[in-house]
Amino acid sequence: MTTTTVCTPSKHIDLPCINKVEWSRPLLWLRSGWDDYKSNWPSSLALGAVFALLGFVLTRIAWSHAHMATTLITGFLLVSPFLAIGFYALSRRREGVAHETIPANENLASIGLFALLLMFIFSVWERVSAVLVGLYLGPNPVPDASLAWLFTGENWPFLLAFIAVGALFAAFAFALSVVTIPMLMDRRVDVVTAIISSLHVVRLNLPAMLVWAAAIALLTATGIAPAFIGLAVIFPILGHATWHAYRELVE
């Protein structure tokens, strides 16, 4: 493995150095995530099952409201960096005390502030998705009150527009959060430092980040597709893998 460390000096913020890694490193993060899942499978599976059940129930409740159901399904990717905090903690604990820098709960205020930022992004996406669905449907109701109708071949112009706009929101949230919460759990830094570090990680590791983002999107979609069942396993693995991504990317 070839790794280059890049340090960005700043007069006002004490930024950590960032490691530049090869594009294929996300595959190893997933392998490490799987190892953590196997090591902590009772806790990981229980947490994953809670999120899978919650997603299934909320989506079923909102199924007759097209924009709410689509927002809940796609918005999961926006807030998942915070929802996965339990998996980061399990991976951190598995590494052992030797790697711990601060108590995991020391930065609770900063973590909460970042969670509010993600919720704000999610709320903006909810309004934007409502506008997209409203503009497309106009006064016409969704046939049979079925969300599935929106995702049929006859609605491909809407699908393309919806996916394109949703991808912009997802990319923005991803860049802000790729290492932010793990870093806040592991170091004495404020939320601004963690966010800027996350942006530097994306900028310096664009090929690897594209692979990582694609893997997250693909695996999450795979987990959601069969009535959220697969999410009980896939979400924990992604959460554990995110911790290992942080550990390798931030010096």
Where are the domains positioned within the chain? 24-249
pLDDT of residue 2: 59
pLDDT of residue 190: 92
Q: Computed from CA positions of residues 119, 74, 191, 200, in that sequence, does the dihedral angle turn out positive or negative?
A: negative
pLDDT of residue 144: 46
Contact between 94 and 40 under an 8 Å Cβ cutoff? The reply is yes
Q: Is the pLDDT of residue 100 over 80?
A: no
pLDDT of residue 180: 96
The CA distance from 78 to 185, in Å, is 19
Nearest to 51, CA basis, from 225, 240, 224, 198: 224
pLDDT of residue 145: 42
What is the pLDDT of the chain when averaged over all its residues?
A: 85
pLDDT of residue 60: 72
pLDDT of residue 149: 63
Among 113-122, 128-137, 144-153, the least confident range: 144-153
For 100, other C-beta atoms within 10 Å of its C-beta total 13
* Backbone φ, ψ for residue 125 (5° rounding): -60, -35
For residue 39, name the pLDDT band (cuts at 50, 70, 90).
Answer: very high
Highest mean pLDDT among 64-73, 112-121, 151-160: 112-121
Q: Is the pLDDT of residue 204 over 90?
A: yes
H or E element that contains 4: strand 4-6
Amino acid at 79: V
Across the range 192-212, mean pLDDT stands at: 95
Q: Is the pLDDT of residue 141 over 80?
A: no
Q: Is the pLDDT of residue 62 over 70?
A: no
Across the range 174-201, mean pLDDT stands at: 94
Nearest to 113, CA basis, from 162, 57, 180: 180
